[in-house]
Amino acid sequence: MSRLSLSPDPVDFQIIRTSNCLQLLSCCCHAISCVLSLSLGGEVGESARCAAFGTQVLADCFTASVGGCMCVQVNKEMDEHCRTAGEVKGGGEGKEGMRKEIMDR
């Protein structure tokens, strides 16, 4: 990203923060579930473990979605840069040649 002077938007940082908060919430839920399971046991412990697992799945799905979307966004911006750079240079090498040249810098 630094080679092409690409930088995340402020909204991207908010989305990353949200993902980090969900991961932290998941860790806290697992810690609480461990304490409840050891101290109270039974149905309360089982319910706490289920809730912790649910928050973990939610946090992991959100994080994977964010990572995938960011990869696609960077790929699209690189393609756009290669396309416009190819038009300026005359477009002799094509998109893949331009992308390799950028990555080799």
Question: So what's the pLDDT on residue 78?
Answer: 84
The pair of three-digit structure tokens given for residue 44, joined into one six-digit string: 């309360």
pTM score, whole prediction = 0.71
Q: How far apart are CA 62 and CA 58, in angstroms?
A: 6
Given a cut of 80, whether residue 23 has pLDDT beyond it is yes
Average pLDDT over residues 3-23: 87
Burial of 7: CB neighbours in 10 Å, binned 0-12, 13-18, 19+: exposed
Question: So what's the pLDDT on residue 21?
Answer: 97
Q: How far apart are CA 97 and CA 88, in angstroms?
A: 14
| Contact of 95 with 82, CB cutoff 8 Å | yes
pLDDT in tens, 46-104: 999 999 999 999 999 999 999 999 899 888 888 888 888 765 555 445 555 555 555 66
Question: So what's the pLDDT on residue 77?
Answer: 86
Higher pLDDT, 2 or 12: 12
